[in-house]
Amino acid sequence: MINHYLGNQIYSKCKEETLIFSEEQTKMVEMHLKGFSEEKILKEIFPKSTDKEIEDNIEQFKSILYNIINMCDLYHDKPTGEKGKWYPMVINLEMTNKCNFNCPFCYKNASLSKNDFIEEEIIQFICNNLENKVNVLHLTGGEPLIYPNINNIIAKLSRKFRVNITSNFSLHNNLDDETLKKVNSLQISLYGYDKNSYVNNIHSDYFSNVYDGIRRLENLGINYYFMIVATEFVYKNIDKYKKFLDQFDKSKIKIENYNNVGRFKNKDLYDYKSKIMDNLKLDIINSEFDVEKKSFEDNLNLPLKCGAGVKHITISEKGKVYPCIDLERCENIGVEFNEYKHYLKNGQIYNFLSQNFEFNEEDIAICNEYFEKTRQFYEK
């Protein structure tokens, strides 16, 4: 559950759908959370209404109000950010480009030979300035569990933010149990169903490490899910994947397409996603491209239709800021963190995106084409 201000509206990512509150709905929710009566809220939103009109409509209004409040769990998850300002809902922190895997479709070209790590000064800046302004910090890599003092980093961040992690989870023993309990959600990148499939896909046998880590999460009651890249190998071995995955809750499985970036750049793309999901009998879950968001993002007049650079930003291990992870392929787009941090601290990232990121037509076309294809997939 995520509730977050983007400008004058609340963006709410509920369990089953994404909602964009109108400015009137946002005002209605704000007043209720501040303790105003339903009658007072109605009079504020509809100042020309008579007392009789208020009385006739109060029960219907209550039903609408409490439906929104309960659906989005707004009593428990009050909106982060600040009304009228633009803070990212999610910051992707690419902790390192070092990784113990060598996946053939890695968007970062991560490898064990690389040794760049995000500076702790950036992490400290976020802790000092963005509490209650940013909803989620998403630790990625490379492999984030390689990062030095990762237990201390997670402990520090989790005191002020929700911490999500994407990891191959082969190095789960780098995290102690108390640290794992501080993680809000853990996405495990799954690359096979047994020892041989891991060797085939990543050229190393880490299957037993990963499987032990999954069982550890189950025993600790930690929220996790699997991310499986929709490759030809997965499709051709779908029955073996299905047999392995049948022991887990299907709501924990997410299928993603690979992108034409990193080690997979310039190779042919083929959409196996829908076929894999059909075979596994999965519903479309965890979509970042819900139909309800279309008018909101189109009306923002952003260069990137997905909302990258506003809903979420990425800070790389080299201290550069990008609208999203995939845009690291476009070297001209990244800006230095020191150039960006004033806008981040003051909730002005919308202004920065429209004025300072130097997009070219090719960059925009690549991203928007991918976004439109993905949205069409979910609208089927």
Q: How confident is the model at residue 292 (pLDDT cuts 50, 70, 90)?
A: very low
Phi, psi of 307 (to 5 degrees): 85, 10
pLDDT, position 23: 82
Strands 9-13 and 2-7: antiparallel
Q: The tokens 């034409």 sit on which residue? A: 260
Q: What is the architecture, at CATH level 2, of domain 101-293+363-379?
A: Alpha-Beta Barrel (3.20)
Percent of the chain having pLDDT more than 90? Answer: 48
pLDDT in tens, 196-212: 999 998 888 899 999 99
Whole-model pTM over 0.85: yes
Phi, psi of 248 (to 5 degrees): -115, 160
From 103, 28, 119, select the one nearest 72 (Cα to Cα).
Answer: 28
**Given a cut of 60, is residue 337 above it in pLDDT?**
yes
C-alpha to C-alpha distance for 62 and 57, rounded to whole angstroms: 9
pLDDT, position 319: 94
Domain layout of the chain by residue ranges: 2-71, 101-293+363-379
pLDDT in tens, 82-106: 999 999 999 999 999 999 998 887 8
**Given a cut of 50, is residue 318 above it in pLDDT?**
yes
Q: Contact at 8 Å (CB) between 27 and 43? A: no
pLDDT, position 265: 64
pLDDT in tens, 100-123: 998 887 888 889 999 999 999 999
pLDDT in tens, 211-258: 999 999 999 999 999 999 888 899 999 999 999 998 888 778 888 876
**Residue 46 burial (CB count, 10 A):** 14
